[in-house]
Chain A
Amino acid sequence: MAEERSPIDGQFLRQLELLDFQLTQQMKGRLGGMRMSRTRGSSVEWLDFQEYQPGDDPRRIDWNMAARFDSYFIRSFADETRLKTTIYLDASASMAAGTRKRQCALQLAAAFAYLSVSHLDHAVINLLQNARCIPTGGQLYDRPSFYRAVGQMQQIRFQGESDLCAALKNDPEPGRGNGISILISDLMTDSDWQGALTALLARKRQVLLVHLLSPEEMCPPGEAAIRYLDAEEEHGRGIRKQMTHNTQLQYAKALNEWTDSIDAFCRHKGIGCLRAKSDETPADILLRKGLSSGVLI
């Protein structure tokens, strides 16, 4: 219960402050951040020389270059920008079933939000439920807003199914080229998850997929005759199986083929993919898997 009340602890937050997203492209964000922007600005980060044009600020003329080339050049600096990290959390019923799956999803969302806030970015957490995209916790600019949002995250109800593609289209502030989109989902949906990820990529944003699976999904429990009921299907007939060693092998094979297809899709599209198991701690997932996979630095 203590863990339910506090999805993320202080020590882990301090460790998170040492990490950052591995950005593969420069993006155009809002002013006042710590990220290098594609636009020229007033940061101390030298970007290039430009021949002086009338109207340029004479204070930016590099006089050493003028003496050497007998022509005026001004120094241009990269602009520092604040990116927007949009965290899409799959809030379907399947994300609440299984060992610590709900808790792990919330912790990861909070961790990614804190990672952004600690680097002066701002973050948004959107819940994907059925075909809706529901912002929750507001804009997260600083630690107070982060902690406020974390407090509200405990009220999130995971229910129904999720149509990822339709929900993402309903994002009220989708943004374009201004940050990172992180999708936390188990992808166990009949909807077009590939289309959803492609839609995110189409916004010129860096996309990170956190594929969260519970131990029950990776190795279904039970012996002999079992009827597996889907948490998202209240009145479904489920799937009846005689759980044997052979069956387990077949299941593991199907699961591997599915995850391999996800990995291949992400690799092909340039999407970062982080597969997590819900009984692992967020520290394990981010500090170990995140670093080793190159998603974080």
Chain B
Amino acid sequence: MTFRHPNGLWILLAIPVLIVLFLLHRKYRNVVLPSNHVWRLLQKMQKSSRLKSRIWQLVMLMLQILAVVMLAMLASQPLFRFGHTEHRIYILDTSASMRMVDANGVTRFDRAKEAILNDASRQANGSLFTLMCTDAAEPLVLESTGNRTELGIGLDGITCSWVEQQPDEVLTLCREMLRSLPAATVCFYTDQDNNGTGIEVINVAADEVNAAVVRLTETHAEMGRRFISSVISYSRDAELTLALYVDDMLLSAQNISCPAGKVVNVPWSLPELAEYNCARVWITQDDALIEDNEAMVFSGKAYEAKTAVISSTPLYWEKAFSSLESVPVSLFSPGSAPEEGYDLYLYDNCLPETLPADGFCMMVNPQEPHPETPVTFGDIKNGGYLSGNNTNPMLADMHCGSIAVHNYRQVTDSADAEKLLFRSSDPVYLRGVTEDGRAWGYLMFDLKESNLPMLPEFILMLKHLVRDICPILCPVSQPEAGVSVALQPLHNYTSLRVTAPDGSLMSLGDTPVFTPALPGLYHLTQYAARGIFESTVQVRVPEAEGDSRPHTLSCSLPEASGSDASEYGVAGMSLQVLWAALFLLFVLTEGMVYRHERI
């Protein structure tokens, strides 16, 4: 007999308490009476009742003990097995850490499969097997079969994933199954230690050697480039050799001592390196999980935002844009403005005839509203210091209160526009999108009559504007397998395609959310009106899954909650309710034993 909740057996400690109380009640205090004559008369009259009273006390004590035992059984939920057959529910951990290999080159995953087959072969004929895995999408693999061949086929069909997995979902499903199969045994084959209850955990992890490059980042350098790689050796100290490849050329190598469990930061200085596309740090030794032995960093060169400045005085615009990377600027006079081919059109003191269809049209100090924009202008009003909300990404790091304007043109109606900067309550920097998808923006004051061009906020404002128009496609430099990343495509993109390391092609469609399943290099292709743009991102093994050491599994078969609680009866009862029931029962029987005594 086993117990689903062995902690419930603690209730049995109440039995000695009951017996002690029973004996304490038998401790008599001496009182001297002149005579016990009347007591003796009473005993003669009711001699049979005394025996009944004693038997009654003993019976009630037995009932109390029986009630406590029943409560303990209800709380601990014993699992009786009749005969030798039983139902075993195998749960196979399919998280990435199960890919670790031992000295013989066998993965934990394969060892777990073999252990399951061995366990099944030891069970008596007629036993039933259910096979589950920790893949939340499809946890139930095989349900209630007595055929071991089917079990083997089911095991062969399970693949080990590359993502971090939590067993909560499969344990919830287990709980549902245990409702109909209360005597079943749950065996969890994993590489994690268990301190939960209700599960028999078989740890297949061994003492493998595993090192990983958990991160590679580029840092600021006075000359050339400087990289920092973070290296860790799980489970034991290791002497590692690291190699740095830049654009597939070996440029440097280092030997390091890596103590167990501690992250070691290894710097790489390349003063002569100017431009690069991809830098890669690689641990040259093979270990239990080679997929996490390298990390890449891409130069992060942003998508070029081609900018057209239409102004009669474009020099300070040109100077300002020159401090931004990847922003090629073309200057035009107001009469010769281009109609397409740019990401940003900047009209200074003039207006386009029509809003361009392929880029963002920024109009500075317009005398009148463009007819295609849903705004109306008012009078020119005296200026002052501006205000704005710094939490808006378009104004990040800007000190808006330092910007002062001499005067500005009031916007009287701008219903759908996003307002960014204000003078009092009047918006002076606003933007929006027309119904046919053309983006526009207004800066409602003359730059020459403000201090903005002399402030660093001017550069920041242009930088945010350019990054908003042409964002970096993948905002996370080194995403983890299994973790979704929201991509930031161009606003007028037509489609996104992702090429996985295994060569599979996936189209993201209208929802640019990218969930990598495998570690490795992913090629992202963006199709926009101006052309096709490609970028590359390295997806890493999740750091928790790369750890070869056995983790502590803190989960157990989840307790029922909410409306399910009533369905599980005592299994779903909290310990407080059990104690309250026990106390009530004790009080009731206590009263029956000791208060309703018959002489």
Q: Which residues of A contact B (CB under 8 A)?
A: 94-98, 101, 186-190, 214, 216-217, 220-222, 224-233, 238-242, 244, 246-247, 250-251, 254-255, 257-258
Contacts and interface: CB of A to CB of B under 8 A. Distances in A.
B34 A251 contact: no
Interface stretch (B23-31, B151-159, B176-184, B331-339): B23-31
Contacts of A240: 28
B42 A254 contact: yes
Contact of A228 (B36, B46, B598): B36
B596 interface: yes
- The 8 tightest CB contacts between A and B, nearest first, are A188-B35, A188-B37, A227-B28, A97-B34, A254-B42, A94-B35, A94-B34, A98-B34
B32 interface: yes
A225 B29 CA distance: 6
Contact of B42 (A229, A230, A250): A250
B30 to A, nearest CB: 5
B41 interface: yes
Nearest to B39: A239
B36 A239 contact: yes
Contacts of A233: 36
A228 B30 CA distance: 6
B26 A225 contact: yes
A214 B37 CA distance: 13
A186 B38 contact: no
Nearest to B26: A225
Contacts of A96: 34
Report which residue of A221, A233, A251 has the largest number of chain B beta carbons within 10 angstroms of its beta carbon.
Answer: A251
Nearest to B37: A188
27 contacts: A94-B35, A97-B34, A186-B34, A188-B37, A188-B38, A216-B34, A217-B33, A222-B31, A224-B25, A225-B25, A227-B28, A227-B30, A228-B36, A230-B32, A230-B33, A231-B33, A231-B34, A231-B35, A238-B36, A239-B36, A240-B28, A247-B597, A250-B599, A251-B42, A254-B38, A257-B41, A258-B41
A281 B498 CA distance: 113
B35 A220 contact: no
B296 to A, nearest CB: 82
B596 A246 contact: yes
B29 A222 contact: yes
Tier of interface size on chain B: 20 to 34
Contact of B31 (A187, A221, A257): A221
Contacts of B594: 242
Interface in B1-58: 25-43, 45-46
B29 A226 contact: yes
A251 B36 CA distance: 11
Report which residue of B27, B35, B595, B599 has the largest number of chain A beta carbons within 10 angstroms of its beta carbon.
Answer: B35
A155 B25 CA distance: 43
Contacts of B598: 246
Contacts of B37: 94, 187-190, 258
A211 B61 CA distance: 44
Report which residue of B27, B38, B41 has the largest number of chain A beta carbons within 10 angstroms of its beta carbon.
Answer: B38
Given A228-B39, A239-B39, A239-B40, A220 B31 contact: yes
A254 to B, nearest CB: 4
Given A101-B34, A238-B36, A251-B38, 14 more contacts: A188-B37, A216-B33, A222-B29, A222-B31, A225-B27, A226-B29, A227-B29, A241-B39, A241-B599, A246-B596, A250-B42, A250-B46, A254-B42, A255-B38
Contacts of B595: 244
Given A225-B27, A240-B28, A220 B41 contact: no
Contact of A254 (B30, B31, B32, B45): B45
A226 B25 CA distance: 10
A124 B35 CA distance: 27
Contacts of A225: 25-29
A97 B33 contact: yes
Interface in B584-599: 594-599
A250 to B, nearest CB: 5
A94 B39 CA distance: 14
B554 to A, nearest CB: 49
B53 to A, nearest CB: 9
Contacts of A221: 31
